[in-house]
Structure 1
Amino acid sequence: MPERDVLIRSRAPLRISFAGGGTDVSPYSDERGGAVISSTIDRYAFCSISPRKDKEITIRSLDYGREERWKANGMLQYDGNLDLIKAVLNHFDVKQGADMFLHCDAPPGSGLGGSSTVIVSILGAVAEWLNEPISQYEMARLAYKLERTELGFKGGRQDQYAAVFGGFNFMEFRGEETIVTPLRIRSDVLHELHYNMLLCYTGKTRDGANIIDDQTKGVIDKKEDVIAALDNARRLAYDTKDALMKGDIRRMGLLLNESWEHKKKFTQKITNERVDTIYRTAMENGAIGGKISGAGGGGFMFFICEYDKKHIVADELAKLDVHITNFNFDKHGLQTWRYWK
């Protein structure tokens, strides 16, 4: 019987953060502790690996429309081209050849935790390929280390853990320690939350690094308004968790609105005229609360609406060239599998 070729695949889910985003970013999280409540959604970053018999590595990235070829015979140099993949291959000291294909369901700069989700997906696929068992916490810590420390990409800690664990999670950040508490939420509450939610794409991606730089500078410079806003964001993560566990969707919407008001105080770059127009239009037509996803400046936004006015909000946002995105919640986190061709 002829030998069949194997394909290794992985997928990691993107996330939306309901409250506490920004408090997972150093130095705030190191000095004062952070907290975030988030959920993963059914939008994914995918990685496929087809092993080769030689030492050539070919990478195709659908999102960037780029193809690269390297030799698996030493450390790969970082040059701004597909460095997330290079960091993973360098970590595992890969000496085998493979064809790799990557794509993500959201564009770069979407605010859904894309780059962190991509590196988690790559790590999962490569670990499966090399038969390297890694625990969930180890996987998330490694993803954070490679993305933030090795490559110097700006951001916090929540995205890597969300992509690995999946589902609704309450995360606490205490210095170098991250504690993930999966939330057991009644199915009727999840259905009702989903029924009342709108996820929409503003059509404008953002540069999260500059926004995070500004926020970090505010903390380093001990700006009282920035630190107070982050303290309130952390508090609202706990309040939002309580509302969710009790099934109080309306209160979640009100807390979401309060979170947005505090988030805008992190830095002036969080919002802009288009984002403000979208938010105001949603609130005037039946939204209870909403916020931008991720660092800010553009990308995806989401709203909790009055159930009988959600369609009105959607129609009015469509007039602003805002794309309403159908979604559902994901509960599985990182998944890997093998397929024999």
Structure 2
Amino acid sequence: MCNVAVAPGARVRVHPGGCDAVTLHVGATGEQYGFDPHGALPGRHPLLEHALAYAPPPNEPVTIAVGAAVPPGCGTGTSAAVVVALLAACAALRGQALSASELAVAAHAVEVGLGLQSGVQDQHAAARGGVQLLEIEYPHAVSTPIGGDDVIAALDDRLCTVWLGRSHRSSEVHEAVIARLEGFDPEPALAPLRAAARDAADALANGDLDAYGAALAANTEAQAALHPGLVGVDARRVIEVARAHGAPGWKVNGAGGDGGTVTVVAPADAEPLRRALARHWELLDLHVSRVGVQVKD
């Protein structure tokens, strides 16, 4: 898996006080409610609640505000980033400094504990930041950083992330793919995805963004071969616009499906493509994050 961490990311703020053991404010919906992470959970935001039950804050009562700069369900790993941030904040309250690997493993355990289909790459991206090649023997992963400041600057210049206007649920898409592959040898379908990841990492290591784009495009077609619903109609429209403007590649983010985002590698002169995309869709204001999770007083 070749992964690029982007910012602005998820943000968690913890303040002492509140009417309950935990008062949770969810920025995406504007909700605020209280609960006891040691007791029965209300189920209004299961992922957040289970993260706090997994590693509850030590000094209750506390008020915790959770937010992100991108729409929920957009396929950029927001849910994993929020859980990583929550776990890091609660660990800091306990006087612990967890490593990036420990945070990623714990965040993945929270999602799996809810019965969700979850990979491990988003958690490692949020915890570590930067650009990395992940060698995965599920659920274990070994991270190798890729590229330097010049590669990150080039990615910032040429990556465009298009919001398709509605969310998707990646776990549901994962379940559909798994059901489709049951009873068959999955290796022929998965091998092109593995090859695309290796090609993407090699391209970035060599500073070749056109080759990187080609690897992303190959990955997207391999996704579509896994399940026809992984690359939706709106994503195909984005790809058509990108291809017409000379883009070397594109990737349907997350699990794909209807909604979410598509990231396009623009040509060297990115502005004509950006203008064309912005006529139909919102472009998310993202850049490559050089750092992973950070805890600040």
TM-score tier after normalising by the smaller chain length? over 0.9
Measured in 2, the distance between the counterparts of 1:85 and 1:319 equals 35
Aligned position for 1:262: 222
Matched, 1:221 2:207: no
Q: 2:74 aligns with which of 110, 117, 121?
A: 110
1:278-289 mapped onto 2 (5 Å cutoff): 278-289=238-249
Total equivalences in the alignment? 295
Distance 1:281 1:55, change over 3 A: closer
Write the distance in 2 (CA, Å) between the matches of 1:213 and 1:172.
23
Offset from partner CA, 1:145-175 (integer Å, 9 cap, x none): 1112x21222211111111111111101114
2:34 paired with 1:60: no
The equivalent residue for 1:242 is 202
**Are residues 142 and 64 of structure 1, via their aligned partners in 2, closer, same or farther at CA, if it must alter by over 3 Å?**
same
Q: What does residue 37 of structure 1 align with?
A: 2
Q: How much does 1:70 deviate?
A: 2.0
State which of 45, 59, 66 in structure 2 corresponds to 1:82. 45
| Offset at residue 45 of structure 1 (A) | 0.7
Q: Which residue of 1 aligns with 2:256?
A: 296
Residue matched to 2:116: 153
Q: Where in structure 2 are there 5+ consecutive unaligned residues?
A: none
**Cα distance in 1, alignment partners of residues 277 and 238 from structure 2:** 7
**Residues in 2 aligned to 1:132 and 1:188: alpha-carbon distance in whole angstroms:** 34
Counterpart CA distance in 1 for 2:232 and 2:283 is 20
Bigger-Rg structure (1/2): 1
Letter paired with 2:207: G
Conserved? CA contact 1:254–1:289, under 8 Å:
yes
Q: Check the 8 A contact 1:56/1:71 in 2, yes or no.
A: yes
Identity %: 23
Q: 2:167 aligns with which of 180, 197, 205?
A: 205
The letter of the residue matching 2:156 is H
| Counterpart secondary structure, 1:287 | coil
Aligned equivalents of 2:279 and 2:56: distance in 1? Answer: 51
Task: Give the unaligned 5+ runs of structure 1.
Answer: 1-35
CA distance in 2, matches of 1:253, 1:94: 43
TM-score in terms of structure 1 length: 0.81
> Which residue, out of 270, 274, 279, partners 2:234?
274
The residue identity in structure 2 corresponding to 1:41 is V
Q: TM-score normalised to the size of structure 2?
A: 0.92
Deviations 1:21-47 (A, max 9, x none): xxxxxxxxxxxxxxx111111221111
Matched, 1:142 2:101: no
Counterpart residue number, 2:289: 330
**1:153/1:65 CA distance change after superposition, 3 Å:** farther
Q: Which runs of 4+ in 1 moved over 6 A?
A: none
Range that drifts further, 86-95 or 271-280: 86-95
Partners in 1 of 2:99 and 2:69 — Cα distance? 25
Give secondary structure in 1 for the equivalent of 2:236: helix
Report the Cα distance in structure 1 between the residues aligned to 2:164 and 2:56, rounded to whole angstroms: 40
SS at match of 1:90: helix
Whether the 8 Å contact between 2:14 and 2:63 is mirrored in structure 1 is yes
Query: CA 1:83–1:242 in 2, change beyond 3 Å: closer, same or farther?
Result: same
Provide closer, same or farther for how the CA distance between residues 140 and 189 of structure 1 changes in structure 2, counting only shifts above 3 A.
closer
Deviation for aligned residue 1:234: 0.6
Offset from partner CA, 1:39-79 (integer Å, 9 cap, x none): 1112211111112288632111110221111246x3242x5
RMSD over equivalenced CA pairs, Å? 1.9
Task: Pick the structure with more strand per residue.
Answer: 1
Write the distance in 2 (CA, Å) between the matches of 1:186 and 1:143: 27
Match of residue 135 from structure 2: 172
Q: How far did 1:290 drift? A: 0.3
User: Relative to structure 2, which stretch is displaced further, 85-94 or 279-288?
Assistant: 85-94
